[in-house]
């Protein structure tokens, strides 16, 4: 028993917000700095009433349509998010309710920007075990909610959005290999170190980051896990048609591509228009490349995530 991706979908809220728009809103920044350091030109920001499950719902409907399925056909729903609608119930259950599915296994995964790669790997293992046959795997984020808009070193980097895939049981392999890792010793370099206690926020409810430490860590583990996952799939990196890394920063993408010896014209890039959408970034980029015809049936795609925790992982997929 194998598992294949049979449909993709994505959703971005509202109109693109440019770097100049952020400066006009009073953030002490400029287009030259943001573009030069990160490659980001635009991001999308959800309205105050829009939640992760709302964005996930739109992406999921598109993925279901692409796969030719109804929500009632699903027996597994996994949502990767660090910005859930509520403490509980899970965003996956809220999404399930909106989709009108009754009875499927549904739960959230928290692995920050690696969340989608973790969730896809979990879905693959459920399907390969024979316990489930049709999974919806979603990355959905409203990171704008946890940004300190007075911290120009972080607030300009992130955006909101959602991406989704349908994964189905198959006689022929689709997902060829997976690799997941974490090291909690590095929890302090990227975190939202706050909580809720007795009706009040305790600690700090905003995203905090040591940008340079994250940068170095991300490039190292993204190149290591790419090699590990290609080895596990029994392929050379030159046989990968498309690399889709977590979209954090164009310089991280370029450094990773150099290390894994892939030209940038084989790397799917959306960070320039989406910013960093955390767990949503990989499925958003995959859906864009499927819909514009770059990623085609039969091609091999290497998906990679890295994020707070620290967590990192990769999946090699034959589409």
Residues carrying an active site annotation: 113, 246, 276
Q: Write down the least CB distance from residue 80 to ligand UT7, Å.
A: 13
Nearest residue to ligand UT7 on Cβ basis: 211
Between 29 and 50, whose beta carbon lies closer to ligand UT7? 29
Structure token digits, residue 46: 């959800």
At a CB cut-off of 8 Å and minimum separation 6, what does 49 contact? none
Residues 285 and 268 sit within 8 Å (Cβ to Cβ): yes
At a CB cut-off of 8 Å and minimum separation 6, what does 139 contact? 79, 80, 81, 115, 116, 119, 162, 163, 164, 277, 278, 279, 280, 281, 282, 283, 284
Residue 29's SS3 state is: coil
Structure token digits, residue 59: 């992406």
Q: Which residues bind ligand UT7 (CB under 6 A)?
A: 29, 33-34, 37-38, 113, 152-153, 156, 209, 211-212, 214-215, 248-249, 252, 276, 307
Between 10 and 191, whose beta carbon lies closer to ligand UT7? 191
Q: Write down the least CB distance from residue 276 to ligand UT7, Å.
A: 5
- H helical segments located in 100-237: 115-129, 152-155, 211-233
Between 38 and 60, whose beta carbon lies closer to ligand UT7? 38
CB atoms within 10 A of CB 131: 11
Between 6 and 249, whose beta carbon lies closer to ligand UT7? 249
158: nearest Cα among 292, 29, 248, 284: 248
DSSP summary character for residue 87: S
Q: Residue 286, CB half-sphere, CA atoms under 13 Å: how many?
A: 39
Convert 287-304 into a string of H (helix), E (strand) and C (coil). Answer: HHHHHCCCCCCCCEEEEE
Between 84 and 309, whose beta carbon lies closer to ligand UT7? 309
CA dihedral 303, 307, 311, 313 (to 10 degrees): 10
d(CA 211, CA 214): 5
- H helical segments located in the chain: 19-24, 31-38, 52-67, 91-99, 115-129, 152-155, 211-233, 250-259, 271-274, 281-291
Between 151 and 231, whose beta carbon lies closer to ligand UT7? 151
């Amino acid at each position: 028993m194998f598992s294949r991706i049979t449909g993709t979908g994505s959703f971005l809220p509202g109109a693109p917000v440019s770097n100049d728009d952020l400066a006009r809103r009073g953030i002490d920044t400029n287009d030259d700095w943001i573009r030069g350091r990160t490659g980001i030109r635009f991001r999308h920001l959800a309205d105050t009433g829009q939640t992760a499950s709302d964005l996930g719902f739109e992406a999921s409907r598109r993925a279901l349509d692409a796969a030719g399925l109804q929500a009632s056909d699903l027996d597994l729903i996994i949502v990767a998010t660090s910005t859930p609608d509520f403490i509980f119930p899970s965003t996956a259950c809220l999404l399930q309710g909106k989709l009108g599915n009754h009875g499927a296994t549904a739960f959230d995964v928290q692995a920050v920007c690696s969340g989608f790669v973790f969730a896809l790997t979990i879905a693959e293992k459920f399907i390969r075990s024979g316990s489930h046959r049709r999974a919806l795997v979603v990355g959905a984020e409203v990171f704008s909610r946890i940004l300190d808009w007075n911290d120009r070193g972080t607030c300009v980097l992130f955006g909101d959005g959602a991406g989704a895939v349908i994964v189905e049981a198959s006689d022929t392999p689709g997902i060829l290999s997976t690799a997941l890792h974490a090291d909690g010793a590095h929890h302090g370099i990227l975190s939202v170190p706050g909580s809720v206690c007795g009706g009040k926020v305790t600690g700090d409810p905003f995203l905090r980051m040591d940008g340079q430490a994250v940068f170095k860590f991300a490039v190292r583990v993204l190149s290591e896990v790419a090699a590990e996952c290609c080895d596990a799939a029994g392929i050379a990196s030159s046989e990968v048609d498309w690399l889709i890394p977590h979209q954090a920063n164009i310089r991280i993408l370029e450094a990773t591509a150099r290390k894994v010896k892939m030209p940038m014209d084989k790397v799917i890039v959306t960070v320039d228009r989406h910013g960093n959408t955390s767990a949503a970034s990989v499925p958003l980029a995959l859906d864009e490349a499927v819909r514009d015809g770059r990623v085609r049936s039969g091609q091999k795609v290497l998906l990679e995530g890295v994020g707070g925790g620290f967590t990192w992982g990769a999946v090699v997929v034959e589409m």
